[in-house]
């Protein structure tokens, strides 16, 4: 019996040691649906974190919720986090002295102006913002007047209500509290058929205002590299998990990384 107890202790210690050996990877996440959202039931970042944790035993990916304005500092050498999922280098990173790597692009997305459908309202409604309230999100970047500017700069040039969530922006447009807002096509696609937000009641600008590619960004000298993440994505892709993930969110047409086709 003593021998059995001794062996059990060894086995438990080995299991505990294996679990403890996992390297934590802090994933910075801010409200940007459908990639991350506390409002929606789930999102792509949460689901991809789950897949990555189930797939391998070397790293434990952990979500760290941050404000969007803190994402640059989060990936700095002394920052709280190691990576950000579904991020564009165009969104202010060139103005910061932050060294980072990026994976291959995962998504090719677009943003466009939207307003509530009303009788007589046409595409000309989007021609100018005079006398109109624009809904925005704190910490976001917008392409307006041919210039990509941060939300605090938008507030200096236009009449803007800055909320904490793009979902709030859409609800305010539908409720008539703001006149128009900017929404990413990926969110509109993910919300198709939703009972909470009726996207069919939105008038969409025919012309997209901004196009971008989204990557996983990895800070320099962090606990994981972009190459390691990409290898795990490729392995998940060969199992069909990446394609299945985008399909669940009705986002196949935005997906640019299809590792399941790589041999």
Q: How much is the average pLDDT of 225-238?
A: 95
Contact (CB, 8 A) for 138 and 69: yes
**One domain, residues 201 and 149:** yes
Q: How many domains, the chain?
A: 2
In a domain, 168, yes or no: yes
Residues 158 and 74 in one domain: no
Asked, for residue 199, whether it belongs to a domain, the answer is yes
User: In this structure, are 165 and 119 located in the same domain?
Assistant: yes
pLDDT at 2: 44
* Listed residues 173, 193, 210: the one ending a domain: 210
> What's the pLDDT at 115?
98
**pLDDT score recorded for residue 260:** 60
Instruction: State which residues form the domain around 119.
Output: 109-210
User: Quick check: 9 pLDDT over 70?
Assistant: no
What is the pLDDT, as a whole number, of residue 193? Answer: 83
**Rounded mean pLDDT, 231-239:** 94
pLDDT at 13: 46
**Same structural domain, 153 and 170:** yes
Residue 5: predicted pLDDT: 45
Average pLDDT estimate for 210-230: 96
Mean pLDDT, residues 181-189 = 96
For 60-115, write each residue's pLDDT tens digit: 999 999 999 999 999 999 999 999 999 999 999 988 889 999 999 999 999 999 99
Question: What is the predicted pLDDT for the residue at 6?
Answer: 45
Q: DSSP readout, the chain?
A: -HHHHHHHHHHHHHHHHHHHTPEEEEEEE-SBTTTB-SSSS--HHHHHHHHHHHH-SSEEEEEEE--GGGHHHHTSTTSS-SEEEEE-TTTTGGGS---EEE-S--EEEEEEEEEE--TT--GGGGS--TT-PEEEETT-EEEETTEEEEHHHHHHHS-EEEES-HHHHHHHHHTTSSSEEEEEHHHHHHTTT-SSS-GGGEEEPSS-SEEEEEEEEEETT-SS-HHHHHHHHHHHHHTTHHHHHHHHTT-GGGB---GGG--
Q: Are residues 218 and 194 in the same domain?
A: no
State residue 20's pLDDT score.
Answer: 61
Q: Is residue 70 part of a domain?
A: yes
Do 79 and 137 lie in one domain? The reply is no
- Residue 127, CA distances (Å) to 138, 143, 205, 207 in order: 24, 14, 10, 11
CATH of the domain at 194: 3.40.190.10
User: Is 224 contained in some domain?
Assistant: yes
Same domain, 55 and 45: yes
Q: Does the residue 15 lie in any domain?
A: no
Residues 104 and 118 in one domain: no
> What rounded mean pLDDT belongs to the chain?
90
Pick from 165, 93, 176: nearest CA to 132: 176
Q: Which of 210, 227, 246 is the last residue of a domain?
A: 210
Could you read off the pLDDT of 236-254 as tens digits, one per residue? 999 999 999 999 999 999 9
User: In this structure, are 34 and 156 located in the same domain?
Assistant: no
Same domain, 129 and 199: yes
Better-predicted residue by pLDDT, 38 or 121: 121
Q: Which of 171, 191, 210 is the last residue of a domain?
A: 210
**Which percentage of the chain shows pLDDT scores above 90?**
79
In a domain, 4, yes or no: no
Query: How far is Cα 263 from Cα 253, in angstroms, rounded to an integer?
Result: 22
How many Å apart are CA 207 and CA 109, to the nearest integer?
13
Say whether both 77 and 114 belong to one domain.
Answer: no
Domain assignment present for 244: yes
Q: Could you tell me if residue 174 is inside a domain?
A: yes
Say yes or no: 100 and 219 in one domain. yes
Instruction: Examine the pLDDT at 15 and tell me if it is beyond 70.
Output: no
């Amino acid at each position: 019996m003593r021998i059995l107890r001794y062996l059990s202790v060894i086995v438990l210690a080995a299991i505990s040691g294996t679990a403890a050996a996992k390297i934590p990877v802090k994933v910075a996440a801010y409200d940007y649906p459908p990639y991350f959202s506390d409002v929606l039931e789930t999102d792509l970042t949460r689901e991809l974190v789950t897949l990555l944790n189930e797939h391998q035993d070397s790293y434990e990916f952990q979500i760290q919720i941050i404000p969007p304005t803190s994402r640059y500092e989060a990936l700095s050498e002394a920052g709280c986090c190691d990576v950000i999922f579904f991020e564009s280098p165009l969104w202010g990173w060139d103005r910061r002295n932050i060294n980072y790597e990026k994976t291959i692009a995962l998504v090719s997305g677009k943003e466009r102006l939207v307003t509530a459908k009303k009788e007589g309202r046409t595409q000309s409604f989007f021609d100018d913002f005079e006398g109109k309230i624009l809904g925005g999100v704190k910490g976001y970047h917008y392409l307006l007047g041919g210039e990509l500017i941060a939300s605090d700069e938008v507030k200096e040039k236009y009449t803007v209500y800055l909320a904490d969530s793009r979902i709030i922006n859409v609800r305010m447009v539908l409720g008539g509290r703001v006149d128009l807002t900017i929404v990413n096509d990926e969110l509109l696609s993910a919300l198709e058929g939703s009972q909470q937000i009726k996207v069919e009641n939105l008038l969409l600008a025919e012309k997209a205002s901004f196009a971008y590619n989204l990557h996983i960004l990895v800070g320099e000298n962090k606990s994981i590299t972009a190459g390691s993440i990409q290898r795990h994505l490729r392995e998940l892709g060969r199992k069909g998990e990446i394609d299945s993930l985008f399909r669940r969110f009705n986002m196949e047409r935005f997906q640019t990384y299809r590792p399941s086709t790589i041999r």
